[in-house]
Amino acid sequence: MLQVDKNAEGFLLDLNTWNLEIAQHLAREENIELSTEHLAIINIIREFYQEYNLHPGMRVLIKVLQQKIASEDHKIDSIYIHMKFPHGIKQLSKIAGLPKPINCI
C-alpha cells in the first residue's frame, strides 16, 4: 500500500514527493481514473504553479488549456474541466500535488 503524507483535507504535506504513482493514488481516492487528458491538465496546472507560484483561476486555466491542448475533438471550457475534475480546481490541485488554492473553502 502506498504511504502518502497528507493533511486533514488530503493535500500533500511535501509537494516535492509528488509523482505519477501518487497522482494515481490521490485520483483513486477521489474516484477518478486518470486518462491522458487528465494528465495533460495536471501537468499544465503544475507548470503554471511552478512558474507563477499560484493557482490559476478558472478563466485563466481555461485559456491556458485552450492554448496547449485544444483540438477539434473537444472544446475546452469550464464544463470540460468539471467533467474531468467534478470538484473543480481544488480537486485538480489535490491530485496534482499542489497546495489547496487560497480562494477555495
Return the active site residues.
Answer: 104
Cα–Cα distance between 97 and 16 in angstroms, integer? 8
Q: Which three cell numbers stand for residue 85?
A: 475534475
Helix (H, G, I), strand (E, B) or coil at 103: coil
44-67 in b/e form (b: 16+ CB < 10 A) is: bbbebbeeeeebbeeeebbebbee
CA atoms within 13 A on the CB side of 94: 23
For 12, phi and psi rounded to 5 degrees? -60, 140
